[in-house]
Structure 1
Amino acid sequence: MTYCIGLLLKKGLVFMSDTRTNAGIDNISTFKKMHSWSKPGDRVITMMTAGNLATTQAIVSILDERTKAPSERNPSIFEAPSMFQVARLVGETIREEIQTNAGVGETADSAFNATIILGGQIKGAPPRLFMIYPEGNFVEASDETPFFQIGETKYGRPILVRVFDSEMSFEDATKLMLVSFDSTLKANMSVGLPLDLQVYQTDDLEILQSHRIDADDDYYNLISTGWGDALKQAFLSLPEFTFESGAKE
């Protein structure tokens, strides 16, 4: 399974993804799910993937090859005039790759799915964030929907909904994402460390921070322990529930 988050802040974009692709008592695999392309002074593009590993790796490889040898039939994301057009190219690539493999095997209708969070900035335009579906269509982040999640989303979503503020700092955004991931890791073993973090500041046209968070990361462990303690204290501080007089327990 997978868990990835993309946040659209006033200051820029923040991405975080886990690296676990298989989970079991004796079957755990780690693969990078965050990929970036940049042309200094012109654009930065970041993509996070969820779904069938062979499909997502093929999509990343195809996009990467096209940056080196573009053609009229297979344009490069480096040539797209806007992030909207980049999203269209990625969506078309997803759809074509899934259709290529459709009908192969008994479960092919669902086995080759892929969902992607795509974000970045092209010079002269603001940063933009998209979620692209297996069918190739996509939606864009907005003031009403300022973040996207893919993969195992349900456990980490409540903290994002309650705390996220587009005005928050990169540091607070990172802390918020770590809490969201910690809640997910505690509830679902199919999501796991290490985590990949990337921060992009508006108009820099280069990646501000890129960091891998391992199980022995001091700050992550501080957040994990602190969040658990804070939840317990918050629970204990809530008003006591009492049964009505005479009610059976």
Structure 2
Amino acid sequence: MTYCVGMMLEAGLIFMSDTRTNAGLDNISTFKKMSVWETPGERVITLLSSGNLATTQAVVSLLDERLKSPEDRDPTLLGAPSMFQAANLVADTLREVIGRHAQSGQRADSAFEATLILGGQIKGGPPRLFLIYPEGNFIEASSDTPFFQVGETKYGRPILVRAYDSAMSFEAAMKLLLVSFDSTVKANLSVGAPFDFHFFRADSLKVGHVGRIEQDDAYLQAIAQDWGDALRNALEGMPDFTLPAT
């Protein structure tokens, strides 16, 4: 399983993904699920992937290969005139990869499905964020839906819904996301650290803060401990239920 989040802020875009993949309890591996492309001063594009690893790796490989031979396909990811067209290109590539498996007898909605989050900014346009479905269609984030999650979403969603604020800083957003990821890890062993992140500052048109949070990271451990303590203290501070008299 996977957990990835793409989020819009007034300051820009923030992305985070776990790195755990598993094919059973005895076959757990670490794979990067975040890809970043950049033409400094012109565009930055980030892709998060969830689903079948062979499918997502094939999508990223095709996008990379077509950058090396742009005459074979126009436009490429770094040549698309807008983020909308970039989302169209990635959606078409995903549909193409899944379609190849479908032709060999597999169903696109089962073994080879994948869901993607694509975000970034191209010069002349604002930062934009998209959720791309296995069928190749997609939706765009807005003020009503300012973040997308893919993979194991239910455990980390409540804190995002309650605490998200578009005006928050990147530093505050990191805290929020780590609480969300820690809640997911605690509830589902198929999601795990390290966590990759990319903070893109609007209009910078260059890769922003990119890094990886390891399982033994001191800040992550402090967040996990403090959040657990805060939840217990909040629960203990609430009045107990009063049983009716018998």
Whether the 8 Å CA contact 1:23–1:190 is kept in 2: the answer is no
Whether the 8 Å CA contact 1:103–1:109 is kept in 2: the answer is no
2:155 equivalent to 1:155:
yes
How far did 1:103 drift? 4.2
Match of 2:13 in 1: 13
Match of 2:173 in 1: 173
CA-to-aligned-CA distance 1:163-218 (integer Å, 9 cap, x gap): 00111110111100000000000000000110001100001111220110111100
Match of 2:217 in 1: 217
Match of 1:133 in 2: 133
Q: CA RMSD in A?
A: 1.3
* Residues 223 and 66 (structure 1), Cα distance of their counterparts in 2 relative to 1, 3 Å cut: same
Whole-angstrom distance in 1 between the partners of 2:132 and 2:57: 16
Match of 2:57 in 1: 57
Whether the 8 Å CA contact 1:102–1:109 is kept in 2: the answer is no
* Residues 161 and 108 (structure 1), Cα distance of their counterparts in 2 relative to 1, 3 Å cut: closer
Match of 1:188 in 2: 188
* Residues 64 and 222 (structure 1), Cα distance of their counterparts in 2 relative to 1, 3 Å cut: same
Whether the 8 Å CA contact 2:115–2:134 is kept in 1: the answer is yes
Whole-angstrom distance in 2 between the partners of 1:55 and 1:143: 31
Whole-angstrom distance in 2 between the partners of 1:177 and 1:23: 26
The AA in structure 2 aligned to 1:143 is S
The AA in structure 2 aligned to 1:145 is T
Match of 1:92 in 2: 92
Q: Secondary structure at the match of 1:206?
A: coil
Question: Can you give the 5+ residue segments of structure 1 that lack an aligned partner in the other structure?
Answer: none
Match of 1:229 in 2: 229
The AA in structure 1 aligned to 2:237 is S
Residues 15-164 of structure 1: pairs in structure 2 closer than 5 A? 15-22=15-22, 24-71=24-71, 73-105=73-105, 110-164=110-164
Q: Secondary structure at the match of 2:60?
A: helix
> If the length of structure 1 is used for normalisation, what is the TM-score?
0.95
The AA in structure 2 aligned to 1:167 is A
* Residues 106 and 90 (structure 1), Cα distance of their counterparts in 2 relative to 1, 3 Å cut: closer
* Residues 183 and 111 (structure 1), Cα distance of their counterparts in 2 relative to 1, 3 Å cut: same
> If the length of structure 2 is used for normalisation, what is the TM-score?
0.96
Q: Secondary structure at the match of 2:131?
A: strand
